[in-house]
C-alpha cells in the first residue's frame, strides 16, 4: 500500500561481485522440451525443497530487501519468482501483527503472506551502529538493494546510495516512493488510493455523472512495484555492459501517469480533458459489461455487427440506421446499450458465452468473480493458482496466483512460504558474511539481530 523501493538483478552469464556465476546456464533447463508439456510450456511450479528448485533466470542474484507494505514487496516477489535470493530485512522488535494488515488466518497476516512468498527473512536493528555495519557488510555481497522509506531516511543512517556504492560499486540501489527522490512533493507520503488520485487514474474511473472511484485492486501500489522490478532488470543488464551499479528512482504517482498514456496524448492533441465514462470506451461501441440473467458478460471490438445481432436475437438492431457503423453506435450509445441490456438479460452468462464466443463476431468474456477463478478450467490448465504452505510449521496452505511469466527454458518458481520473522538470520549471515554461531549469538544478545 505504501511507496516503496526495490532492487534486483539479472546478468546472463555474468559474474556477481561475490564471485558467483549468475543467470541462465545450459544445465538450468528442465529435461525434455517445452512443447512436450501440457499448455505448451513447462509449468511454473511450487518447490519448497530448495535443493530441487530449478534455476530461474535470476539464479545467483542477491537482493537485500528493506521494503514493506505492498508496492515494494510486490516488486521483490517478482524477483523471487524469477529465481533471485531475496532477503527481507525487518526490525527485531516487530511482532507478527505488525508485519502486515489483516485479516489474519491462523495468526498470519494474509496481506503479508500474499506479497512475500519465496523470500528469506532476517531481523537487524539498523538504527544501531552495529546493525548499520552489518547492513554495509551485506550490501557488499548484494547485487540489489531495495527500500521504500521516505527519501533520505536510510541516508541519514549512513546507508544511502552514496554511502553504499563506496562499499560496492556494482550495487543497484532501487528506491520506490510516493513522488520520487526530488521535486516539491518528495517528502510527502502516498498510499495506493493517493497514488491513483495524484497520478490521474482515479479521475478516469467511475460513472460519467458519479464521483471518482478507486480501482478495486491496488494498482497504485502494484504498478509502481512492477516498474521497480522492470527498472532493476534494466539496471542489471546495464551493469553487464558497464560493470557498475546505479540508483533507480521510481515514484508511485508517475507509474499511474504512465497508465494514462492515451488520455494524456488526447489532452495534448485536442485539449479534450478525458474524464470518467464508466465501462464505456472513448472510441468503440459496444465495449464493456452487460447484464445477463445471472451476472455480466463483456462484448467488445465487434467485427460482425449483423452476426452479433442475429446471435442475440435482435435482427432489428442490425437494420437500425442508428447502429450500422461504429460511429453511429457511439452517437447513439444510450439506445444501443438499452437494446443490448434487454437482449442479454434473456440468458445466463455461460449460455451467451457458448453462443457468441465460437462465432468470432466480437471479443467476449465472462465477468468472473474471484470465486469463479477457483473453478475455471483454463486457470487450472495453466496452473495459475498454487498452494503455498503456511509458515512456522503450521498445517495447511493458502492459494496464491502463480507468476504470469511463463519462460520455456528457465521457468518461474513460486518459492517457499512467506519468511518467518528472523527465521533465516543465522543462515544468511553465515552464507553471505561467514558469521559463525558464536558471533551471531553475541549480536542477538545485544539486540542487534533476531
Element (H, E) at 75: helix 71-81
- Count of C-beta atoms within a 10 Å radius of residue 55: 20
- Count of C-beta atoms within a 10 Å radius of residue 377: 7
Q: Rounded to whole angstroms, how far apart are CA atoms 387 and 394?
A: 14
Q: Rounded to whole angstroms, how far apart are CA atoms 291 and 243?
A: 57
Cell of 385: 493458482
pLDDT-above-90 percentage for the chain: 83
Specify the length of the chain in residues. Answer: 450
Reference 141, options 16, 6, 12, 10; nearest CA is 16
| Digit-coded pLDDT (tens) for 21-52 | 333 333 333 333 334 444 444 445 544 554 45
Q: What is the dihedral of CA 217, 221, 222, 223, to 10 degrees?
A: 110
Domains annotated for the chain, with CATH where assigned, are 14-259+380-445 (3.40.50.10540), 288-361 (3.30.1540)
Reference 363, options 409, 300, 412; nearest CA is 300
The DSSP line for 91-152 is -TT--GGGSS-S-EETTEEHHHHHH-TT-EEEEB-TTSHHHHHHHHHHHHH-SEEEE-SSTT
Cell of 425: 538470520
How many CA within 13 A on the CB side of residue 364? 23
CA 70 to chain centre: 9
Query: Within the chain, which residues score under 70 in pLDDT?
Result: 1-54
Q: Rounded to whole angstroms, how far apart are CA atoms 212 and 361?
A: 33
Q: Rounded to whole angstroms, how far apart are CA atoms 221 and 81?
A: 18
Residue 386 has what pLDDT?
A: 94
- Give catalytic residue positions: 281
Check: CB of residue 28 under 8 Å from CB of residue 396.
Answer: no
Residue 273 has what pLDDT?
A: 84
Q: Rounded to whole angstroms, how far apart are CA atoms 11 and 5?
A: 20
The residue behind cell 455461460 is 350
Cell of 81: 519468482
Average pLDDT value over all residues in the chain: 89
Q: Rounded to whole angstroms, how far apart are CA atoms 388 and 254?
A: 33
Q: Rounded to whole angstroms, how far apart are CA atoms 202 and 276?
A: 9
Amino acid at each position: 500500500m505504501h511507496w516503496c523501493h526495490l532492487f534486483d538483478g539479472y546478468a546472463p552469464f555474468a559474474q556477481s561481485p561475490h564471485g558467483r556465476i549468475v543467470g541462465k546456464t545450459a544445465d538450468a533447463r528442465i529435461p525434455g522440451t517445452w512443447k512436450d508439456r501440457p499448455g505448451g510450456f513447462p509449468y511454473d511450479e511450487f518447490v519448497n525443497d530448495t535443493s530441487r528448485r530449478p534455476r530461474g533466470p535470476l539464479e545467483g542474484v542477491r537482493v537485500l530487501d528493506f521494503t514493506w507494505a505492498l508496492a515494494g514487496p510486490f516488486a521483490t516477489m517478482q524477483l523471487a519468482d524469477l529465481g533471485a535470493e531475496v532477503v527481507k530485512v525487518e526490525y527485531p522488535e516487530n511482532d507478527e501483527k505488525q508485519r502486515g494488515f489483516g485479516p489474519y488466518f491462523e495468526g498470519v497476516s494474509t496481506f503479508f503472506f500474499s506479497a512475500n512468498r519465496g523470500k528469506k527473512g532476517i531481523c537487524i536493528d539498523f538504527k544501531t551502529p552495529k546493525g548499520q555495519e552489518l547492513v554495509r557488510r551485506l550490501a557488499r555481497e548484494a547485487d540489489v538493494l531495495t527500500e521504500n522509506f521516505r527519501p533520505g531516511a536510510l541516508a541519514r543512517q549512513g546507508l544511502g546510495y552514496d554511502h553504499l556504492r563506496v562499499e560496492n560499486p556494482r550495487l543497484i540501489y532501487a528506491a520506490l516512493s510516493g513522488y520520487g527522490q526530488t521535486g516539491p512533493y518528495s517528502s510527502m507520503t502516498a498510499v495506493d488510493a493517493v497514488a491513483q488520485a495524484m497520478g490521474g487514474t482515479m479521475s478516469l474511473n467511475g460513472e460519467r455523472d458519479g464521483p471518482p472511484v478507486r480501482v478495486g485492486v491496488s494498482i497504485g501500489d502494484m504498478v509502481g512495484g512492477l516498474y521497480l522490478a522492470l527498472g532493476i532488470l534494466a539496471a542489471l543488464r546495464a551493469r553487464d555492459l558497464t560493470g557498475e551499479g546505479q540508483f533507480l528512482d521510481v515514484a508511485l504517482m508517475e507509474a499511474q501517469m504512465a497508465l494514462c498514456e492515451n488520455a494524456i496524448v488526447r489532452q495534448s492533441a485536442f485539449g479534450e480533458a478525458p474524464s470518467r465514462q464508466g465501462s464505456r470506451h472513448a472510441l468503440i461501441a459496444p465495449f464493456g459489461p452487460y447484464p445477463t440473467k445471472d451476472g455480466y458478460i463483456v462484448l467488445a471490438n465487434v467485427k460482425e455487427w449483423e452476426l452479433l445481432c442475429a446471435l442475440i436475437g435482435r435482427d432489428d438492431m442490425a437494420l437500425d440506421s442508428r447502429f450500422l457503423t461504429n460511429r453511429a453506435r457511439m452517437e447513439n450509445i444510450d439506445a444501443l446499450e438499452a437494446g443490448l441490456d434487454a437482449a442479454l438479460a434473456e440468458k445466463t452468462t455461460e449460455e451467451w458465452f457458448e453462443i457468441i464466443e465460437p462465432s468470432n463476431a466480437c471479443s467476449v468474456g465472462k465477468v468472473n468473480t474471484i470465486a469463479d477463478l477457483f473453478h475455471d478450467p483454463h486457470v487450472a490448465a495453466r496452473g495459475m493458482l498454487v498452494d503455498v504452505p503456511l509458515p512456522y510449521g503450521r498445517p495447511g496452505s493458502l492459494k496464491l496466483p502463480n507468476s504470469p511469466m511463463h519462460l520455456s527454458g528457465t521457468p518461474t518458481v513460486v518459492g517457499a512460504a512467506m519468511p518467518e520473522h528472523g527465521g533465516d538470520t543465522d543462515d544468511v549471515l553465515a552464507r553471505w558474511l561467514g558469521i559463525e554461531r558464536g558471533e551471531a549469538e553475541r549480536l542477538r544478545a545485544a539486540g542487534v539481530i533476531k
